[in-house]
């Protein structure tokens, strides 16, 4: 085992002590994303089936559903032991998947069940992923996060690669309902993998709030504390703005993808294959970067490179799309944007939360990752529809997207500087507090 840890440490640039949690964290992400991406092409096909002109309504419904679910998650975060927040949340979602599986078995052609599933899986995706990252930013300080976050996220990319292949291979054999049952099983397995991550931190606490006893206590506070914490913190408001701009860029591209795929591939089976192929290409590129590039890049060049480079490249992609609004160009821009988000932006964005208080790592973070993100989806979805209606030219929407991407880059640069400043302040506090304690003795 020690030899195995040594090989992992030398290959990926982590310490031998960090090899076991890297594997456990990567396994949690793999199981979650394999289940989600197995179902994602089905969700996308259902969205197109309802009509591209109605996508803004699905986005609005997703935002409303997210608002309805957040108090429930806030209650769990306030009342349940910190180390049990993930098991409770994943258990709830696994039960939901089982219920949808039964519905699909009883009435597989029901359009309203399909629309409800589209909305539900969009809510599930953000909250479930946010909870895993909340555990990670809770357990790992910034110094370790720079080394391990991208490696853990590679499990998500591998799951995103395996998931669509599982869906393609199994959908004929077990149907949509069978895929949901399998996704629920993978979610339960992720709970056990997360327990290994918690046990490792129990044995290697780096500060008082990360001891086993501290994490065995509930966070307390109000179930709605997430929104009040965000509103009182300029730093968290900055992260909210970053996420809002990210979601807006993603929505503009998503609508263009749906429009062009509907025109180019009218058959639903072909649409599902195209969506699945894009996922496979994105995840293949992402996993290579996460394993060998992202961690080394942030350690050498700093957090700013993760938060600025992708928005700038996306801005150039929008300008290219304005000049050549074709499916081929859109596919390249979508792949580059999504690859960049998963490989660079997401690990960097999560590192921003390593310097906030413990309660904010769960409640405020979940509010930003779900309500702010889905709110941005809904608003930008209607904005994209409005721009298309006024201009009747895809190039106009692409230019608006370029302006949003540029603002996104500027916001990322400011957040990177703020995170570095706060991290330095926290490190100074940790150094001075033991010294003060020694003087008092």
What does the mean pLDDT of the chain come to? Answer: 80
Distance from C-alpha of 398 to C-alpha of 20, rounded to nearest angstrom: 44
- 219-230 exposure pattern, b = at least 16 Cβ within 10 A, e = fewer: bebebebbbebb
> Which residue stretches of the chain have pLDDT < 50?
1, 49, 434-441
- The half-sphere exposure of 361 on its side-chain side, counting CA atoms within 13 A, is 26
Burial of 95 by CB count in 10 Å (0-12 exposed, 13-18 middle, 19+ buried)? Answer: exposed
- Tokens representing 407 are 């603002």
In angstroms, the CA 345 to CA 353 distance is 13
Q: How far apart are CA 80 and CA 167, in angstroms?
A: 34
DSSP letters along 29-73, please?
HHHHHHHHHHHHHHHHHHHHHT-GGGHHHHHHHHHHHHHHHHHHH
State the pLDDT at residue 435: 44
3-state helix, strand, coil in the chain (%, to 5): 90, 0, 10
Q: Read off the pLDDT of residues 157-200 as tens digits, 9 standing for 90 and up.
A: 888 888 888 887 887 788 878 888 999 999 999 999 999 988 88
Q: What integer pLDDT is reported at residue 381 of this predicted model?
A: 66
pLDDT computed for residue 239 by the predictor? 94
239, 242, 243, 247 alpha-carbon torsion, rounded to 10°: 170
pLDDT tens string 4-30: 666 666 666 667 787 888 889 999 999
Report pTM. Answer: 0.73
**β-bridge mates for residue 218, sequence order:** 81
Quick check: helix, strand or coil at residue 218? strand
What domains does the chain contain, in order, with CATH numbers? 12-426 (1.20.1250.20)
Exposed e or buried b per residue across 268-290, where buried means at least 16 C-beta atoms within 10 angstroms of its C-beta? eeebbbbbbebbbbbbebbbebb
pLDDT of 102-140, one tens digit each? 988 888 777 777 778 888 888 888 889 888 988 888 888
Tokens for 302?
């700093």
């Amino acid at each position: 085992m020690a030899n195995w840890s040594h090989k992992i440490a030398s290959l990926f640039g982590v310490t031998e002590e960090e090899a076991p949690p890297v594997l456990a964290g990567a396994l949690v992400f793999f199981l979650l994303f394999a289940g989600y991406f197995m179902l994602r092409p089905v969700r996308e096909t259902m969205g197109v089936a309802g009509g591209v002109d109605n996508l803004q309504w699905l986005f609005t419904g997703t935002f409303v559903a997210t608002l309805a679910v957040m108090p429930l998650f806030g209650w769990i975060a306030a009342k349940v032991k910190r180390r049990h927040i993930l098991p409770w949340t994943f258990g709830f979602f696994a039960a939901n998947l089982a219920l949808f599986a039964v519905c699909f078995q009883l009435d597989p052609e029901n359009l309203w069940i399909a629309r409800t599933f589209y909305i539900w899986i969009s809510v599930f995706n953000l909250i479930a992923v946010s909870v895993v990252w909340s555990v990670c930013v809770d357990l790992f300080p910034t110094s370790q996060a720079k080394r391990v976050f991208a490696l853990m996220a590679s499990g998500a990319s591998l799951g995103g690669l395996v998931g669509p292949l599982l869906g393609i291979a199994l959908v004929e054999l077990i149907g949509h309902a069978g895929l949901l049952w399998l996704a629920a099983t993978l979610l339960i397995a992720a709970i056990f993998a997360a327990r290994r991550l918690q046990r490792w931190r129990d044995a290697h606490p780096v500060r008082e709030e990360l001891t086993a006893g501290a994490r065995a206590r509930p966070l307390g506070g109000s179930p709605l504390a997430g929104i009040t914490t965000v509103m009182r913190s300029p730093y968290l408001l900055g992260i909210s703005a970053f996420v809002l701009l990210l979601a807006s860029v993603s929505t503009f591209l998503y609508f263009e993808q749906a429009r062009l795929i509907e025109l180019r591939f009218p058959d639903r089976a072909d649409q599902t294959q195209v969506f699945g192929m894009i996922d496979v290409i994105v995840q293949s590129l992402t996993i290579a970067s996460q394993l060998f590039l992202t961690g080394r890049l942030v350690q050498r060049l700093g957090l700013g490179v993760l938060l600025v480079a992708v928005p700038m490249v996306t801005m150039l992609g929008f300008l290219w799309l304005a000049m050549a609004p074709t499916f081929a160009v859109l596919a390249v821009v979508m792949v580059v944007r999504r690859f960049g988000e998963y490989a660079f932006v997401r690990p960097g964005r999560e590192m921003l939360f390593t310097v906030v208080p413990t309660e904010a790592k769960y409640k405020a973070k979940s509010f930003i990752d779900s309500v702010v993100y889905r709110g941005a989806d809904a608003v930008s979805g209607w904005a994209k529809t409005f721009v298309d209606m006024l201009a009747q030219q895809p190039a106009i929407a692409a230019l608006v997207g370029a302006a949003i991407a540029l603002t996104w880059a500027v916001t990322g640069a400011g957040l990177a500087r703020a995170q570095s400043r706060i991290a330095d302040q926290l490190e100074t506090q940790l150094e001075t507090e033991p010294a003060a304690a020694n003087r008092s003795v």
